[in-house]
Chains A and B, each alone.
Chain A
């Protein structure tokens, strides 16, 4: 168990290093003079020189890489070339919106997806067909479009929920919930579908397994066999896909923030792209990768805890 966790941590660190290096190289691959692009082609020589220093472009590649990586390791992701604010503080300020959106998405998808998947597997027949149809649609609808559709239905027509706005979860949890219903619904459609599909398949496999025959032979009621034993076994493969879904939800959050005008990482990204704010873009990649890796690590732990074969080895 401990070696399993250590191995995962090492892999995560290596991956983070690879992604950081990738963002560094991305800057080198930038066509033309980055400083000129950042300044929109109108900088004075002094401004250009300043940006070059900020990006470290005037030093040999190796030296640049070394000092850049050194700063990254210490949590220094540079400064925005537009506002001069440190990238890490910008991201720290923006991340809660996006991350809370994605985490809420995970929880909602787990609950609804597992219920749908179990129903489909256990009931079969028309329930199964309906669930499969709904999940097929859930995967196919673009989340930003679904978000807009929900705004039309629930904000414009029914006037039930706000179309835009954001309240912090910490200071105003109720408003947060109200503001997040639609965005979460928009991004979770696809992951609900993903979880439901996985749950259905895993439950079917579990219900066909030999141990279920044994438990039936022992005389346990179907209730216990389905909801205690089969579901417990099915939860292992379900947990393994949550990591993938989290990545998707994070991406979904970035897009859906545009629809709902949420001040999260997505908006920051779009602004940074428009402004050619390269340090912010580089920082974003490293920062979100770190978030994803931490979440994946937690999922690995959950997996190990759920699976006795890993837990007791």
Chain B
């Protein structure tokens, strides 16, 4: 008995992913584990099938042998064949372990179900019970039970089962909670389905797999416990041998015959491993694409310096367009930020590379406010993360360039990026309450950021930070300075996030839906704040939004994205007056407080196709009211229907004419 396998605490309960359990068991580790456990089963039921040796056959002349042809795993002090002892000792180990597992299940699952389903007082009592069981000195209690109630392995293991039931109670309770919150359970309740039926039909099937996982870990603990108890001489009485007592016998002859340790120890470890691997397989811990990018943002960059960029089949369209973009604005002065033909691909779980942002180009002049607009899932956030050098793992700029202030920043390393971010390009996230490190006070965060950018003493930084809080419109900077994220309102947290972004006096602020998680009144205040800060500092702003109302308030020009592509770009005023792309037009109509109040459509029908499912032709064609056959026949290029305007529609001109 060793350390109980500590439950790894993750974010909330995992709901069952529907993947046939049998298929998961086909992984090599799981298959080997099943084979090993199958072998143990045979050894428990019919040990004589596996060995012809008598486990109790003494032969003192064969004492303490290493493996030989006759004794494959050697012999012990009295000349007993170790292999046959191992095989004949299996039954008691497996039986005792199953007793513990069964008791744990029989107590844990019902109590967990009751706690999770009934909730309230009952739940509190049951949870306390489980917590209590978990903080007991398990092994000492088992030993005391064995000592007082007599040397009865089954009974002792039943007690272990009671203690292990705590894990099941917790697991089943949280899973039941999660499932109970699902809509289908609600609707079943509304329809008057009985509780028993809801539990047996809806809840039990969904918790089976996590319970099996817990059971495999419980059985692993059980094996170690049985081994530990019999190691201390509390196993089945002699002459029966079992794995733990074999280890004990081996420890008596360590210096003379160390080999003695091997067979029993390996058998115990393999069995525990087999249970744990089975559990892992059921949890379906497939090689999840790990978010390594954080520490390895540099990795992708290094790769692109060496230019082994994957060819993902972005084709002539790309080439045509890069030329076209360059030709479209040859004479303009260089912008603060120029995104040229930005193409981002992601490597999926299965190893394919998926095009997520397709040849996006736009520019931001110093001090300008540009909006990046589109429905969610259109690539706006990925585009903005690429500009910050913060693509999530698996993401890579496979083509195109990001030029900031005349410098190509596309392939900077992570440390180089860290110098650009904050002082040149800063970032404000969407959800202010989760965007602030919960473990550090507002002041600590600001001071650290300020001292990163400027050579300040702690006191100076502190003064500076309070001033900054005042500048973002916080009423009592001194008091907010010492608060933590959980003590702030959404609006206040967003102000703090903006203050953080300002610590390095950036020249470009990227704000990803900075107001959409906030109340309407707070939204307006924050936009006012951003606008005045922009005027005051002269920084440029890239505002990512799906809300034209926000855009109209704030931005001088707008870039509209749909399914990974730029579909329209225009000065904001022009865009509102006369959209050249049907998508823009529909988006505008769908904005309740937008420019076009007279239209009826509340939303665009259908959803934007996810990456990988984009049509060959115009990406918007399947949802477009004016699509014709030509739209779907091939890629649609960006055109310039009017000065300073671009649109990716075959009918841009007619659209424009129609609205002028």
Which A residues fall within an 8 A CB radius of B?
11, 14-15, 18-19, 23, 26-27, 29-31, 122-125, 128, 136-137, 139-145, 148-149, 151-152, 156, 163, 187, 189-191, 194, 197-198, 201-202, 204-205, 207-222, 224-226, 229, 232-233, 236-237, 240-241, 243-245, 247-252, 254-255, 258-259, 265, 269-270, 272-273, 276, 278, 281-282, 284-285, 288-289, 291-293, 296, 306-309, 312
Contacts and interface: CB of A to CB of B under 8 A. Distances in A.
Given A156-B258, A209-B434, A219 B420 contact: yes
B346 interface: no
Interface in B5-30: 5-11
Contacts of B220: 139-140
A137 B269 contact: yes
B148 A198 contact: no
Given A26-B148, A240-B9, A140 B269 contact: yes
B432 to A, nearest CB: 9
Contacts of B437: 211, 214-215, 229, 232-233
A243 B128 CA distance: 15
Contacts of A289: 136-137
B261 interface: yes
B183 interface: no
Given A124-B296, A219-B418, A289-B137, A152 B147 contact: no
A129 to B, nearest CB: 10
A128 B149 contact: no
Interface string B412-446: 00110011111100111101001111111100010
B138 A211 contact: no
Contact of B427 (A15, A217, A221, A259): A217
A291 B145 CA distance: 19
A207 B137 contact: no
B6 A143 contact: no
A213 B139 contact: no
Contacts of B54: none
Nearest to A238: B9
Interface stretch (B225-233, B306-314, B463-471, B575-583): B225-233
7 contacts: A11-B132, A144-B247, A194-B3, A205-B11, A211-B437, A252-B1, A309-B486
Contacts of B441: 308
Contact of A285 (B140, B269, B388, B500): B140
B440 to A, nearest CB: 7
Contacts of A26: 144-145, 148-149
B150 interface: yes
B391 to A, nearest CB: 11
A190 B261 contact: no
Given A207-B291, A207-B294, A218-B452, A142 B269 contact: yes
Contact of A19 (B136, B139, B294): B136
B362 interface: no
A194 B5 contact: yes
Contact of A218 (B6, B270, B439, B501): B501
Most buried by B among A29, A139, A220, A272: A139
Nearest to A231: B439
Contact of A259 (B11, B234, B251, B429): B251
A296 B9 CA distance: 17
Given A139-B3, A270-B232, A285-B141, A216 B224 contact: no
Contacts of B190: none
B484 interface: yes
B121 interface: no
Contacts of B487: 312
A88 B215 CA distance: 38
Nearest to B141: A285
B2 A143 contact: yes
B145 A149 contact: no
Contacts of A140: 220, 268-270, 272-273, 276
Contact of A229 (B141, B419, B440, B510): B440
A250 B139 CA distance: 8
Interface residues of B, number: 99
Given A187-B2, A220-B449, A208 B436 contact: no
Contact of A247 (B4, B390, B500): B4
A197 B140 CA distance: 26
Contact of B292 (A125, A187, A226): A125
B427 A214 contact: yes
A95 to B, nearest CB: 12
Nearest to B423: A219
Interface string B255-294: 1001001001100111011001100000000000011101
Contacts of A142: 1-2, 224, 227-228, 231, 244, 247, 265, 268-269
A192 B497 CA distance: 37
Contacts of B294: 207-208, 212, 216, 222, 225-226
A201 B10 contact: yes
Most buried by A among B2, B234, B291, B429: B2
A284 B148 CA distance: 12
B125 to A, nearest CB: 11
Given A214-B428, A219-B422, 8 more contacts: A141-B2, A152-B261, A201-B9, A211-B437, A232-B437, A240-B9, A285-B140, A288-B140
A213 B511 CA distance: 12
B504 interface: yes
Contacts of A18: 132
A252 B244 CA distance: 14
Contacts of B497: 214
A254 to B, nearest CB: 6
Contacts of B134: 244, 247
Contacts of B503: 218
Nearest to A16: B132
Contact of B5 (A123, A139, A215): A139
A201 B8 CA distance: 7
Contacts of B320: none
Question: Which 4 A-B pairs give the minimum distances between C-beta atoms?
Answer: A219-B422, A248-B3, A217-B427, A251-B139
Nearest to B437: A211
Given A19-B136, A204-B291, A248-B4, A222 B414 contact: yes
B132 A15 contact: yes
Contacts of A293: 135
Contacts of B261: 145, 148-149, 152
A61 to B, nearest CB: 17
Contacts of B140: 250-251, 254, 265, 269, 284-285, 288
A308 B443 CA distance: 14
Nearest to A295: B135
Contacts of A224: 448, 452
A124 B294 CA distance: 11
A123 B295 contact: yes
A198 to B, nearest CB: 5
A226 B135 CA distance: 32
Contacts of B445: 215
A233 B2 contact: no
A273 B434 contact: no
A15 B264 CA distance: 37
Contacts of B146: 273
B6 A197 contact: yes
A21 B474 CA distance: 57
B157 interface: no
B640 to A, nearest CB: 34
A255 B139 contact: yes
Contact of A31 (B139, B149, B254): B149
Given A143-B2, A216-B421, A156 B144 contact: no
Contacts of A278: 147-148
Given A219-B423, A222-B294, A292 B137 contact: yes
B458 interface: no
Contacts of B270: 140
Contacts of A23: 144
A156 B255 contact: yes
B135 A296 contact: yes
